[in-house]
Amino acid sequence: MRLFAIFLLGTLSSYSEIKPSDPDDAAYPALERFVEVLEAARARHPDVEKVTYDRMINHALDGMLSSLDSHSSFIYPEMQQLVDKDGSLDNEVRSLGLSLGRDSERIFIAAIEKHGPAATAGIPVSSTLFEINGAPAQNLTLTDALAILNGAPGAKTTLTLSDPERPGELKLTVIHRYVENRSLIVSAPLEDHPDTGYLRLAQFGPNCAGEVESALDELEDNGMASLILDLRGNGGGDLHQTVRILGLFLPPSTKVVSVRERGKAEEFLETPARQRRKRDYKICVLIDRNSASASELTAGALHDLKRATVIGEKSYGKGSVQNIVPMGGNTALRLTIATYHTPSGNTPHLKGIKPDIQINFTGKDRENFSRRGRVSSLGTEQLEELSKWQDPAIVAAVKAME
């Protein structure tokens, strides 16, 4: 048994040159304890099909990685086909706010987006997916299951799942939400305040910095004297585009984001060395609980450098870097390897960005905000309701810039 523990230690340590914080000799008793539990379960558990080495160790790896943070996970062979060229894992159903995973036995709910449709419906993380709209799901490939689950805004999908907390099944219905695929979806002066420009950035797509710069040029040429940058519902995107956008409002070569990785010197990302126009007008940045990653870094950097007032509610809390690490048997690790930090040294990771001016958005506020991004698809009654709605975040921004 001790030889097996030594073998495991050698295998695991070969993937990292950085020693853990506890001493090396602590590994031996810990690994021996793992092997003792493994062998005791294999020797005495009555369900012999569940105590194979492959199954038990894979489940142990699942638990080990998920205990580190919500973004680290063990990737089974079937999930490898969903790894993008940039190393990210494309296993999310954005319209439902959930991610799927698959091991050797089941399709399961790998992650739930805070405050998304799946979270609102009460779908538990790690639950097994049995049926989709009454059709069995366990014989589906993960790719097929993801395709079936993608639905149009407003469509309903009924999922039958296991309940991790107690025996039995859950049957829950989830309503798909609208997901914006463009980056810059609104660029216009405010109707009642034509000297205030309004930009709504839905995501940090591959060309969004150029889109934002062109929009600013047009607004400025038409007399814009202040700006509202709306990042509500923006889940992030391209970090380099983020830094370029920050360079539109901050001096050249300003350190705006840093990356802290274990065993390496802190890496600083700076705004471009040249700036075509100086933009020194007042800015308000709007965020909500679905503003994540690049949105949080943008709001945090502009706040830390006293360039903008942040308005809304505390953001999502995603400020980490994940890497796909290939392992044996066509498996891999999706492992958090670093954290992002704003100029003050603060990281949004797991805690979000706290606004300067807090807004308590109602359900109607969220619904109307979503509708405003898809006006062409609304009915007469919805358009009428939207025309009467006053966005509390924009009202607060106008007041803050007076």
Q: What is the residue extent of each domain of the chain?
A: 2-51, 75-175, 184-400
Whether residue 354 contacts residue 300, with contact meaning beta carbons closer than 8 Å, is answered with: no
For tokens 């358009």, what's the residue?
A: 383
Q: What is the CATH number of domain 75-175?
A: 2.30.42.10
Structure tokens at 97: 């706010």
- pLDDT at 220 > cutoff 80: yes
Packing angle of the helix pair 27-44, 2-13 (nearest 10 deg) = 120
- pLDDT beyond 90 at 345: yes
How far is the C-alpha of 375 from the C-alpha of 318, rounded, in Å? 30
**How does pLDDT run across 301-315, given as a tens digit for each residue?**
999 999 999 999 999
- Mean pLDDT value of segment 65-94: 77
Give the percent of the chain with pLDDT over 70: 93
Q: Which has more confidence, 373 or 186?
A: 186
Average pLDDT in the chain: 88
**What does the alpha-carbon distance between residue 206 and residue 294 come to, in Å, rounded to a whole number?**
13
Give residue 308's pLDDT.
Answer: 98
What's this model's pTM, rounded to 2 decimal places?
0.80
One-letter-per-residue 3-state SS of the chain: CHHHHHHHHHHHHCCCCCCCCCCHHHHHHHHHHHHHHHHHHHHHCCCHHHCCHHHHHHHHHHHHHHCCCCCCEEECHHHHHHECCCCCECCEECCCCEEEEECCCCEEEEEECCCCHHHHHCCCCCCEEEEECCEECCCCCHHHHHHHHCCCCCCEEEEEEECCCCCCEEEEEEECCCCCCCCEEEEEECCCCCCEEEEEECCECCCHHHHHHHHHHHHHHCCCCEEEEECCCCCCECHHHHHHHHHCCCCCCCEEEEEEECCCCCEEEECCCCCCCCCCCEEEEEECCCCCCHHHHHHHHHHHCCCCEEEECCCCCCCEEEEEEECHHHCEEEEEEEEEECCCCCCCCCCCCCCCEECCCCHHHHHHHHHHCCHHHCCHHHHHHHHHCCCHHHHHHHHHCC
pLDDT tens profile 131-157: 999 999 988 888 899 999 998 888 999
Q: How is residue 89 written in tokens?
A: 């894992």
The domain covering 184-400 belongs, at the CATH homologous superfamily level, to 2-enoyl-CoA Hydratase; Chain A, domain 1 (3.90.226.10)
Are 164 and 126 in contact, with CB atoms under 8 Å apart?
A: yes
- The pLDDT tens digits for 18-52 are 566 677 788 889 999 999 999 999 999 999 989 99
Token reading at 67: 């205990």
Tokens of 169: 């099944």
Q: Which amino acid is at 378?
A: L
Note the pLDDT of residue 329: 78
β-pair partners for 357: 311
Which pLDDT tens digit goes with each residue over 235-245?
A: 899 999 999 99
Radius of gyration of the chain (CA): 24
pLDDT band at 2 (very low <50, low <70, confident <90, very high): very low
More confident call, 97 vs 71: 97
Residue 86, pLDDT above cutoff 70: no
Is the distance from CB of 176 to CB of 117 less than 8 angstroms?
yes
Contact 226, 401 (CB under 8 A): yes
Between 171 and 330, name the one with better pLDDT: 171
Closest C-alpha among 148, 121, 120 to residue 134: 148
- Selected residue with higher pLDDT from 158 and 324: 158
Q: What is the mean pLDDT of residues 356-370?
A: 93
Residue 16 has pLDDT above 50, yes or no: no
| CA dist., res. 69 & res. 184, Å (int) | 31
Angle at 394 between CA 177 and CA 226, to 5 degrees: 125
Question: Quick check: 211 and 186 in contact, CB under 8 A?
Answer: no
**Closest-CA residue to 335 (of 348, 350, 345, 320):** 320
Q: Band the pLDDT of 110: cuts 50, 70, 90.
A: confident
pLDDT digits (tens, 9 = 90+) for 155-181: 999 999 997 777 889 999 999 988 777
* Lowest pLDDT segment from 115-124, 171-180, 279-288, 323-332: 323-332
Query: What's phi and psi for 180, nearest 5 deg?
Result: -80, 130
Q: How far is CA 6 from CA 12, 148, 361, 362, in A?
A: 10, 45, 55, 57
What does the pLDDT read at residue 247?
98
